[in-house]
Amino acid sequence: MDASIKPLSSKVSMFASNKEIYNQLTSKEISLIKLGKLEEYIEDLYSAIQNPQISNLFPPQDSYNKIMDLLKELRKLNKNKLNNE
């Protein structure tokens, strides 16, 4: 089993800032990266709910807030894409 971390895009670093991501990627590529981040926060939230010890590392409220921020950003990306078509 390959446990290495694979980037979602070869165009930007895994640690790229939001500004770099928006400057170098298409809205479709940005959406893919944001969905990957959303998945991570959902996993953190689920783990925190299931295990109180993990809740200390990944507070559920923090994960929830990040999920909501990402959903807003994805809606904005989608709206902009629809307006540009």
Number of domains in the chain: 1
pLDDT of amino acid 83? 82
pTM: 0.78
Integer-rounded Cα Rg, in Å, for the chain is 15
Asked, for residue 14, whether it belongs to a domain, the answer is: no
Separation between Cα atoms, residue 37 and residue 14, nearest integer Å = 11
Asked, for residue 37, whether it belongs to a domain, the answer is: yes
Asked, for residue 21, whether it belongs to a domain, the answer is: no
Asked, for residue 4, whether it belongs to a domain, the answer is: no
Q: Each residue of 32-84: pLDDT tens digit?
A: 999 999 999 999 999 999 998 888 888 999 999 999 999 999 999 999 878 87
Domain that holds residue 70: 26-84
Q: Where are the alpha helices (DSSP H) in the chain?
A: 18-24, 27-50, 52-57, 60-84
Asked which of 3-7, 9-13, 40-44, 67-71 is least confident by mean pLDDT, the reply is 3-7
pLDDT of amino acid 5? 65
Asked, for residue 76, whether it belongs to a domain, the answer is: yes
Q: How many CB atoms are closer than 10 A to CB 34?
A: 19
pLDDT of amino acid 7? 66
